[in-house]
């Protein structure tokens, strides 16, 4: 199978859906000649023209409002917000309109729109362009939230999101744009709400999202050299969340850690911990669940401080070793 980048997989998904369905179009700042802030839409203006590649003013609220209106009247818009931090400017249109309208119209109205946005740190863009705010969106009934970690998942999940009749917030980690992976040329979908077991294991479950999936896999490889078999679960979508895959993995391993880049306080990892605690997996736990997450600070500009603000491979390994050394009461094994 051919190998392409995460960025190319996103572009291919949009292009294939736009060729299939004339109702699908994209809109956002600088997405035409410039190709978007990270070049994802490069070349799409040449193929689809200005009617279907809509270059907008610098107004996230206006972009999102236009998408909501277009979706309500039969189109299937894909809007790009240049940085996920700026979704905050569009929250009224997204949270109070897009997320509510299908419910308020008793299902007779649909809002089939996808909000794509780059998220996360790692490229030196500092505090206002590097946040991970996905937990905010998961709190809103009516929104679906997606966080792919590989090119294969990115294409399949985006095609499924475009086909969905509900608003979907689609987070693309900036560092992942250049990551390569095997991706089929033909169109395909990955159902929203289906987790993926990226690595099988027997001693410990690591549930990780987005860029942290790659760090969790690296940590799992190093842990295997210490005789610890770690299973890595990638939820892929936060809403809907595939709780069954997570619960069954924890039942098998008896130990779990949750890893995400966003700040630990009120991060989505807390929701995953609650899911495990409230399920039958609780009775199989041999140690408390640990969260590995971002520090409660704005993302620094300094590369050294930026890395220190979010989990690295060493942090995941340290948490794994801690969990392996604890019993159900939280005490060191053997004490």
Q: Are residues 50 and 154 in the same domain?
A: yes
Q: How far apart are CA 335 and CA 321, in angstroms?
A: 16
Tell me whether residue 131 is in a domain.
yes
Same domain, 33 and 175: yes
pLDDT given for residue 331 in this prediction = 73
Q: Mean pLDDT over residues 19-46, rounded?
A: 96
Q: Look-up: residue for tokens 């978007």? A: 36
Tens of pLDDT, residues 136-172:
999 999 999 999 999 999 999 999 999 999 999 999 9
Residue 257 belongs to a domain: yes
* Residue scoring higher pLDDT (275 or 327): 275
CATH number for the domain spanning 57: value is 3.40.50.970
Residue 226 lies in a domain: yes
Both 203 and 303 in a single domain?
Answer: yes
274 within a domain of the structure (yes/no): yes
Tell me the pLDDT tens digit for each residue of 284-324: 999 999 999 999 999 999 999 999 999 999 999 999 999 99
Same domain (yes/no): 166, 232: no
User: pLDDT value at position 128?
Assistant: 96
Domain boundary residue, one of 152, 182, 212: 182
218 and 145 in a common domain: no
CA distance 93 to 115: 12
Q: What is the pLDDT of residue 335?
A: 47
Pairing of the two strands 204-208 and 230-234: parallel
Q: Say if residue 107 is in the same domain as residue 53.
A: yes
What is the residue whose two structure tokens read 């960025």? 7
pLDDT class of 27 with cuts at 50, 70, 90:
very high
Residues 157 and 201 in one domain: no
Answer yes or no: do 143 and 226 share one domain.
no
CA distance 207 to 220: 12
Assign residue 220 the CATH number of its domain. Answer: 3.40.50.920
254 and 293 inside one domain = yes
User: What is the domain extent for residue 303?
Assistant: 196-324
pLDDT for position 329: 64
The pLDDT value recorded for residue 269 is: 98
Both 109 and 220 in a single domain?
no
260 is catalytic: no
Residues 250, 110 share a domain: no
Residue 328 has pLDDT above 80, yes or no: no
pTM check: above 0.75: yes
Residue 330: band (very low, low, confident or very high) from pLDDT cuts 50, 70, 90:
low
Helix (H, G, I), strand (E, B) or coil at 216: helix
**DSSP class of residue 298?**
P
Compute the distance between CA of residue 187 and CA of residue 13 in angstroms, rounded to an integer: 7
> How buried is 254 (Cβ within 10 angstroms: 0-12 exposed, 13-18 middle, 19+ buried)?
middle
Answer yes or no: do 236 and 164 share one domain: no
- Domains in the chain: how many in total? 2
Angle value at C-alpha 107, between 102 and 112, nearest 5 degrees: 50
């Amino acid at each position: 199978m051919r190998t392409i980048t995460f960025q190319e997989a996103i572009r291919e998904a949009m292009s294939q859906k736009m060729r299939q369905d004339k109702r699908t179009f994209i809109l956002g700042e600088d997405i035409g000649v410039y190709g978007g802030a990270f070049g994802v839409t490069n070349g799409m203006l040449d193929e689809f023209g200005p009617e279907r590649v809509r270059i907008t003013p610098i107004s996230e609220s206006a972009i999102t409002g236009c998408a909501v209106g277009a979706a309500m009247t039969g189109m299937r818009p894909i809007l790009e917000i240049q940085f996920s931090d700026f979704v905050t400017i569009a929250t009224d249109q997204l949270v109070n309109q897009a997320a509510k309208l299908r419910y308020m119209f008793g299902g007779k109205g649909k809002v089939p729109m996808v909000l794509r946005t780059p998220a996360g740190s790692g490229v030196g863009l500092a505090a206002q362009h590097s946040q991970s705010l996905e937990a905010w969106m998961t709190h809103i009934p009516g929104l679906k939230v997606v966080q792919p970690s590989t090119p294969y998942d990115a294409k399949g999940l985006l095609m499924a999101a475009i086909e969905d009749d509900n608003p979907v917030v689609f987070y693309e980690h900036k560092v992942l744009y250049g990551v390569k992976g095997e991706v089929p040329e033909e169109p395909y979908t990955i159902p929203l709400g289906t987790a993926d077991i990226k690595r099988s294991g027997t001693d410990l479950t690591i549930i990780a999202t987005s860029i942290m999936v790659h760090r969790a896999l690296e940590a799992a490889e190093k842990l295997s050299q210490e005789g610890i078999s770690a299973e890595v679960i990638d939820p892929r979508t936060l809403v809907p969340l595939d709780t069954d895959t997570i619960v069954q993995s924890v039942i098998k391993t008896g130990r779990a850690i949750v890893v995400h880049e966003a700040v630990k306080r009120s991060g989505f990892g807390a929701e995953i911990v609650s899911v495990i605690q409230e399920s039958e997996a609780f009775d199989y736990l041999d140690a408390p669940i640990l969260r590995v997450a971002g520090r409660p600070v704005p993302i620094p500009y300094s590369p050294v401080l930026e890395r220190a603000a979010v989990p690295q491979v060493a942090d995941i390994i340290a948490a794994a070793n801690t969990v392996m050394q604890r019993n159900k009461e939280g005490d060191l094994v053997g004490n």
